Structure 1
Amino acid sequence: METQSLLHSIPWENILSSMHNSVLVVDDHGTIRFMNSSARALFQLEAQSWEGRSIEKLVPNQKIMKVLKNGDSFIGEKIVINGKQCMVNRTPLYEDGNLIGGISVIQDISEIEQYRNLLKQWEAVLEFSTDGIYVVNSEGITIYVNKAYEDMTGFDRKDLIGRHMKKLMLNGYIDQSVSLLVLEKKQKISIIQKIGGKKDVIVTGNPVLNDSGEIELVVTSVRDITQLNDIKHELLRAKTFSQYHDHRFSVKIHDSDQHVVFQSEKMSEVHDKVKQVAPYPTSILLSGPSGGGKEVFANLIHHYSTRKNEPFIKVNCGAIPEQLLESELFGYEKGAFTGANKDGKIGLLELADGGTVMFDEIGEMPLTIQVKMLRVIQEKQILRLGGITPRKLDIRIISATNKDLNKLIEKGDFREDLYYRLQVVEIHIPPLVERQEDILLLVDHYFSYFCQQFRIEKRLSEESKKILQSYHWPGNVRELRNLMENMIVSIPANLIEPHHLPVHVYSQADFEKPLTLKQKVENYEQRIVYDTIKKHPSLRKAAAELSIDHSTLVKKIKKWRD
């Protein structure tokens, strides 16, 4: 047949025979005239005769017959041949404008499907990685970002993929690019990177080389080191506390632990004196400013005394009305006065028998009560209101005041004889401003305490600590404690920066050198900018609210950070 001789004389037959894809040629009647080795293997005809067979008998419902009938081409049809996924392209063969047959080129895509499935599996692995994965091509253009990177940075991959690293740097997404460094140095590089002007991460860029030794990709792993910094901070704090272990004490108050924390020489002397006098029943007067810790040291005295397992009654002389204070302290017999409990009432002093009584704000005690307290101390017995039989009383008295009792004596508001009975030993608690060595220790202690109590992970920046240490603390330890609690619960940021501190603390802090007007204005500007960024994690939105250009905001942040 003329067609057969034509097909056998094709000069590119050797080329078709060496092709990896399967090639099958039929004449205009659909009879097979040529099959390369790949096609024979696909159709499993190695040991069978194939030449001269009809294509329809080999593969029923073949579209090659439509090719022969209409001269149409059919490209990219998926079929299954002997269990293998294949892609088939069918085209007509012409000679001198006449249709003489058709050719089918068949590609086994089962391996491609396997690779595609493997690629999906690897992509799933990358998506579930806890480390951020960031991939750029040889030109520094982002081609892949995983979910962990999105979660870690708050950036959407749609805003990153397809963009050059230099543009991302200019737009404030990152402060430097490890990918560009890898492309430049042609080696693995690790750096600490700041994301979005706020979060520190450690990034490691790895070059992926092709067969020619040229960089094809840079794959970067990104790890948030906030937790590591927190651990480091906790270790440093633990080390600090361990250095002063001999000066750190705790006393049980009700059902919670209360700590006396110090490292200053002044407080060391106070503690030594407390420890010396605590075992004896001697009356002690604690003097010092409000909020300085007088009640805490009263607890410590009771804790160190032989009465620590006996009652410890606290009476605030300024909080109980004068007409009630006498009955509260001394109690009364039944029928002692109109409205009295019919069974009488035991007083606070009797409740404390064998233990300790603390009179807080002793300077507020009315003179009428002072006379009776003097008798109690001298005679070591008590008489209830309306009673006629004294009761023996064994109590240890601790008094506390933030006033100058000598001046009250001069004014006639406090009895001198009672003063000397109460002031057998006087212990002065110095204000916090006089023991600056204790400030940071107390800051760390209470900051850590409230973090643990509320299960919140936060840190204080070194700049914030410097300001807190330089502040004069008029409210003393109480003010410091309350401020630590306030910052833990009211500030959403994980890192407490100077602009988070209350204005009265920041503005009244004693810096080494007075700030110039320009510095004060810039500090105020920082507070406004960071407060805005806190509300808008996106720098673009923050810049829009501040009515400044995005690039200007990025430059300001970089300047303040450097």
Structure 2
Amino acid sequence: MKANSINSLTWENIFSCMHNGVVVVDRKGNIVVMNATAKKLLQAENGNWEGKHIQELVPHTKILEVVESGDRSIGQKMILADRQCMVNRTPLYQNGKRIGAISVIQDITEIEQYRSLLTQLEAIIEFSTDGLYVVDQEGITIYVNSAYEEITGFERTELVGRHMRDLMTNGYIDQSVSLLVLEKKKQISIMQKIGGKKDVIVTGNPVFNDQGDVELVVTSVRDITQLNKLRKELEKAKSISEINQNRFSAHVNGSEQMFICNSKKMKNIYEKVKQVAPFPTSVLLTGPSGTGKEVIANFIHHHSQRKQKPFIKVNCGAIPEHLLESELFGYEKGAFTGANKEGKIGLLELADGGTVMLDEVGEMPLSLQVKLLRVLQEKQIQRIGGREPIKLDIRFISATNKDLKQLVSEGKFREDLYYRLHVVEITVPPLSERQEDISPLIDHFFSYFCKLYHVDKTLSKETKKALTSYHWPGNVRELKNLIESMIVSVPSQLIEPHHLPLHIHDQKDGEEALTLKQRVEKFEQRIVKDVIKKHPSLRIAAKELGIDHSTLVKKLKRWGLDPKKANI
């Protein structure tokens, strides 16, 4: 019975059950059969289609060409009732004679919309600034976007189809977040090193199927190399702002240092410094304390190509030996008991690209001399507790008032380090050996401190003469400190010889050794003259001094001063 029912179905019944539209035309192009889907697409649901020519409903139809030629037309797109359709046309034969054609119409509007959406999504994925990496449930790479290629430098052709373990083994990545997600079945973020060089942060997200199993892992990859660089620069800047203490100092973009010289010896040094400053070679500055070795180091840095980079000065004799290594090299977090929990960047690392001045280098412990030699040889350091070497570009300027050769012979300074630091040696002579420089230095410091403290004072000729004839055992530093002291401590506008310290005031008369009584009397003269400057009346001056007027007059006469000229 069922078989008879099926046999009794007409082609029209069968076509009506089809999801796709079906239109049959005869040899002349008249419509013979049209199913419900086709009627809807051709807007012929009211039954006025029968016997009509196909072109009345579809003016630009190509089915007539199929009827005439007998050639099939497959996969042609057209718009019907504002719907995107795919049309296949096939000729119909009966007893070997072509009697018409059949057209099968598929509504592909939703498919095209879906395909458009996929294209848009693919474009979004491709133009994402974050790298995207997709693996299947087995951990095999199935998709990599262009951003990932740019971030890592790896082509997708060398990644797609490969298992993540294989990529780890071959050094593409140090660890796989995709495998961790497949294991833990949850979102995971980790730091990853690509190719052993670039730092990235990766977040793996599981995609579950209806059964709750992980079907895909989609990983976003963000390059944080630049972020790490900025963080380190910020850490450096913060560290530089904190290290300006007595034992070491640092500055960036420092102003030009004055190089004041009039003597032949210092002019020769000036020419030598200008010659070597542009080159990155190591310089050793020797000479007594206070001669201006630091000023010369500043001058070298300023006239080098590194002047826009940090210039860090380390006083090797002022830092306790147990702290010097951590100060110079820095340390990782947890490197030792009492260490900063975040770790610390070292002075050498802070100076990368710039200059380091090792003041009092002769005081550096032997244990650290070995490590400093390695820095000079290999141009890299390793933080305390660290594993990765850090490449550095540093110019070293060393300074000492000791005889390093003598220290080498005594076993207190490494000979190989000495020759590394001693590429160019500049010996700065004491001030007593360059008398021609004293006068311009006095003028410079006097003008400098007057401007600094906003005062208007003058040196008398006698005072300047006394200063230029002094032998200055403390060198330029002593001269500078004395000038500053006189500017701030002498109340009168004119600074005279009696305002000078006793050891300078005594020497101006050519007296090599004064008795205690003579020294006390000279000191008494200074006090008396200062009081008289304040009080032109001798009676008032005597009262302030706590002596009789007659006693004051006698003292002035004994010193060769005229009591009648109160304003001495």
When normalised by structure 2's length, the TM-score is 0.51
Cα shift at 1:542? 2.5
SS at match of 2:561: helix
After superposition, what is the alpha-carbon deviation per residue over 1:33-53, rounded to whole angstroms, capped at 9, x for unaligned?
xxxxxxxxxxxxxxxxxxxxx
Amino acid at match of 1:336: A
Further displaced range: 407-416 or 545-554: 545-554
Q: How does 1:350-429 map to 2 (within 5 A)?
A: 350-429=349-428
Distance 1:309 1:255 in 2: 8
Distance 1:484 1:253 in 2: 29
Structure 1 equivalent of residue 326 of structure 2: 327
Structure 2 equivalent of residue 503 of structure 1: 502
Amino acid at match of 2:308: N
Q: Does 1:452 align with 2:451?
A: yes
Alignment check: 8 A CA contact 1:262 1:438 kept: yes
Distance 1:388 1:253 in 2: 29
Structure 2 equivalent of residue 274 of structure 1: 273
Q: Does 1:557 align with 2:561?
A: yes
Distance 2:396 2:509 in 1: 40
Cα shift at 1:412? 1.1
Indicate how the Cα distance of structure 1 residues 254 and 281 shifts in structure 2: closer, same or farther if over 3 A, else same: closer
Cα shift at 1:278? 0.5
Indicate how the Cα distance of structure 1 residues 530 and 425 shifts in structure 2: closer, same or farther if over 3 A, else same: same
SS at match of 2:258: strand
Distance 1:420 1:437 in 2: 33
Distance 1:291 1:478 in 2: 5
Structure 2 equivalent of residue 81 of structure 1: none
Structure 2 equivalent of residue 472 of structure 1: 471
Distance 1:493 1:501 in 2: 13
Distance 2:478 2:360 in 1: 19
After superposition, what is the alpha-carbon deviation per residue over 1:122-164, rounded to whole angstroms, capped at 9, x for unaligned?
xxxxxxxxxxxxxxxxxxxxxxxxxxxxxxxxxxxxxxxxxxx
SS at match of 1:259: coil
Indicate how the Cα distance of structure 1 residues 395 and 517 shifts in structure 2: closer, same or farther if over 3 A, else same: closer
Structure 1 equivalent of residue 166 of structure 2: none
SS at match of 2:399: strand
Cα shift at 1:343? 3.0
Alignment check: 8 A CA contact 2:538 2:549 kept: no
Stretches of structure 1 that go unaligned for 5 or more consecutive residues are 1-251
After superposition, what is the alpha-carbon deviation per residue over 1:54-73, rounded to whole angstroms, capped at 9, x for unaligned?
xxxxxxxxxxxxxxxxxxxx
Indicate how the Cα distance of structure 1 residues 513 and 372 shifts in structure 2: closer, same or farther if over 3 A, else same: closer
Alignment check: 8 A CA contact 2:463 2:497 kept: yes
Indicate how the Cα distance of structure 1 residues 255 and 540 shifts in structure 2: closer, same or farther if over 3 A, else same: farther
Structure 2 equivalent of residue 432 of structure 1: 431
Q: Does 1:302 align with 2:301?
A: yes
After superposition, what is the alpha-carbon deviation per residue over 1:345-404, rounded to whole angstroms, capped at 9, x for unaligned?
221111111111110000111101000011111111111112222121111000000111
Cα shift at 1:336? 1.9
SS at match of 2:288: coil
Q: How does 1:57-68 map to 2 (within 5 A)?
A: none
Indicate how the Cα distance of structure 1 residues 253 and 329 shifts in structure 2: closer, same or farther if over 3 A, else same: closer
SS at match of 2:448: helix
Distance 1:480 1:447 in 2: 10
Indicate how the Cα distance of structure 1 residues 380 and 346 shifts in structure 2: closer, same or farther if over 3 A, else same: same
Identical-pair percentage: 67
Distance 2:256 2:282 in 1: 25
Q: How does 1:15-34 map to 2 (within 5 A)?
A: none
Alignment check: 8 A CA contact 1:543 1:553 kept: no
SS at match of 2:385: coil
Alignment check: 8 A CA contact 1:313 1:357 kept: yes
After superposition, what is the alpha-carbon deviation per residue over 1:427-448, rounded to whole angstroms, capped at 9, x for unaligned?
0111111111111111111111
Q: How does 1:336-347 map to 2 (within 5 A)?
A: 336-347=335-346
Stretches of structure 2 that go unaligned for 5 or more consecutive residues are 1-250
Q: Does 1:349 align with 2:338?
A: no
Amino acid at match of 1:534: K
Indicate how the Cα distance of structure 1 residues 517 and 558 shifts in structure 2: closer, same or farther if over 3 A, else same: farther
Alignment check: 8 A CA contact 1:327 1:385 kept: yes
Amino acid at match of 2:277: A
- Bigger relative contact order, structure 1 or 2 (CA pairs below 8 A, ≥6 apart): 1
Distance 2:261 2:415 in 1: 34
Distance 1:343 1:524 in 2: 58
Alignment check: 8 A CA contact 2:311 2:351 kept: yes
Amino acid at match of 2:503: H
Cα shift at 1:535? 4.5
Q: Does 1:264 align with 2:267?
A: no
Alignment check: 8 A CA contact 2:277 2:301 kept: yes
Distance 2:376 2:255 in 1: 32
Indicate how the Cα distance of structure 1 residues 345 and 501 shifts in structure 2: closer, same or farther if over 3 A, else same: same
Alignment check: 8 A CA contact 1:363 1:403 kept: yes
Distance 2:514 2:471 in 1: 17
Cα RMSD, aligned residues only:
3.0
Cα shift at 1:259? 2.5
User: Which structure has the larger Rg over C-alpha atoms?
Assistant: 2
Cα shift at 1:527? 2.6
Cα shift at 1:543? 4.8
Alignment check: 8 A CA contact 1:470 1:510 kept: no
Distance 1:411 1:510 in 2: 44
